[in-house]
Structure 1
């Protein structure tokens, strides 16, 4: 348990009512308190410097920044770690108690508090990802409607754009004009979504031009605009991780383990952490592996003895470690660099 002289407070955040759990250090009295949203900061303004634990969920980074500005220490915990300390019925008081217990465990992994700028970049990534889902849904829906009338188009967006005018022209001779106008409006809506996605990418590019960290890791083969900006914003503070291996494990690019009786079996990657960043790294590694003009001896040797997808994930793991090393040590990317174990 935590032996610090500071009081530890577990906070279960919500939209309107926040639940607090703590133990008075002088008397050992267990306290629970529910606070309205507008009274939350007022409560901590009247407390001496404390350690506040919260789940890393919606709004937690905002409250963490506000509490840190008051002089409190904040620990953001993954919900996966907190859940282990809430075995009974789920309610706000039990969740706050579970957070209070989890935050005091030795070696607990905390989430770095992000700045507003980092959260802004991630918000743009999330909106771009949502627009892509909308575009895919609109495209598939339009293809399905066309197929209802015997018009099956070739795969791919370019083929669809090429065939769509002729398809609508043929259908206009058989179907009501109201339907044709609606189909044409949906097709035009896809182009509008394309423009919205492009605008977000232009804004991310503008942010990348002024951020030295993004520019540094963008030199890594396989790391482009999306991966560089997402990695810097998601990681927060690189020094929150002890090593590149720890960062790679944090985003789920290491094998999961299943063992008993001293025998450990390595499984597929754990897929923990941020799915979006892990996906970008894997796609970037695949692109670098298949299109690199000067493949490294390491990847060439691994491809001789391992399946392609295994090599791709291994390269993504290596890219994650390089990203951490560049950001943590403030170095530029050097493809000739040879790492060595610390003494």
Structure 2
């Protein structure tokens, strides 16, 4: 797209999931092209802006971090699985794994070959931890240098990683007429099964970017845990919601609200003010 733009063409990118409804069953290049033309002809079609090389490099930070987190989880599960074969168990939690591996190295009841292999896995795990720490430092530096990302991180439940991901991965927020439509793009709105005048709402659609949705739900879950704890820390809206809904349902509803607040901050340039922004989001949707 960047190369075509340099050649003087007006380039418009469409997200694959928005083209899929217009493609016939039997997939081939011709039908794909036909589906693209049909999708592009729609007056309300939303386009993805062409990323600069700097933006593409920033996106790599998120991608590499996700791969390292997945590798760390895989190694942790592998170590615990093999240890269980020798009757060795440890409480869950990455913070306990290093001490667990050190104990295995000193356990004479474990065969020497197994201890060597555990030591090899430990070295791999430590290397992943070092690389992950370096990547997260770069991501934090990027977050601190971006004004929009810093403003998004003011929202409860949105940390530096989620804020940076919203700035890097979300489409142009001005392409959405409301925060409700932005939340719908993220797949945080319920499926509509209404018929014959009867409104029936189901589970969330799970459309849009899966990773962004996961980050928002994880952040919302952390806020909900504080609200149901002993100190009952949370907004009046959330505490009232928890009286009617399960914590999981409340977390998804809060993630939806966080997405709408994020849209508001990105489109207006405002800083987060709980009372003012919550009122505006509630009124405008």
How does the TM-score come out when normalised to structure 2? 0.88
> In the alignment, which of 27, 46, 55 is matched to residue 90 of structure 1?
27
Q: Structure 1, unaligned stretches of length 5 or more?
A: 1-62
- Deviation of 1:233 after TM superposition, in Å, equals 0.6
- RMSD between aligned residues: 2.1
Matched, 1:272 2:211: no
1:312 paired to 2:251: yes
Gaps of 5+ in 2: none
State the shift of 1:306 in Å: 1.4
Inter-partner Cα distance in structure 1 for 2:84 and 2:161: 35
After superposition, residues 98-137 of structure 1 pair within 5 angstroms as 98-137=35-74
Conserved 8 A contact 1:75-1:110: yes
Q: Deviations over 1:134-180 (max 9, x none)?
A: 11111211222222223233332333322322222224x6524x442
1:198 matched to 2:133? The reply is yes
Cα pair 1:112 1:235 within 8 Å, conserved: no
Report the alpha carbon displacement of residue 100 of structure 1 after superposing the two structures with TM: 1.3
- The answer on whether the counterparts of 1:122 and 1:234 sit within 8 Å (CA) in structure 2 is yes
CA distance in 1 between partners of 2:267 and 2:52 (Å): 17
Supply the distance in 2 between the matched residues of 1:324 and 1:141 (Cα, whole angstroms).
40
Equivalent of residue 91 in structure 2, options 148, 154, 166 = 154
* Residue of structure 2 in register with 1:52 after alignment: none
Q: Out of 301, 314, 317, which is 2:240 matched to?
A: 301
Pairs within 5 Å for 1:214-293? 214-291=149-226
Decide which structure has the larger Cα Rg and report it: 1
Matches within 5 A, 1:35-46: none
Structure 1 residue 71, shift from structure 2 partner: 4.1
Distance 1:133 1:212 in 2: 29
Q: Aligned partners of 2:205, 2:63: CA distance in 1, in Å? A: 23
Q: Call closer, same or farther: CA 1:248–1:160 in 2, change over 3 Å.
A: same
State the alpha-carbon separation in 1 of the partners of residues 261 and 56 from structure 2. 23
TM-aligned CA distance change 1:174 to 1:229, over 3 Å: closer
User: Equivalent of 1:175, from 111, 117, 128?
Assistant: 111
Q: Which of 326, 329, 342 lines up with 2:265 in the alignment?
A: 326
Residue 19 of structure 1: aligned partner:
none
1:141 correspondence with 2:78: yes
Deviations 1:95-126 (A, max 9, x none): 11221122112322333333333332222111
- Asked which structure has the greater RCO (Cα within 8 Å, sep 6+), the reply is 2
Equivalent residue for 1:67?
4
The verdict on how the C-alpha distance between 1:106 and 1:270 changes in structure 2, with shifts beyond 3 A counting, is same
In 2 relative to 1, CA 209–155 (structure 1 residues): closer, same or farther, beyond 3 Å? closer
The structure whose residues are more often strand, as a share, is 1
Hey, what does 2:15 align to over in structure 1? Answer: 78
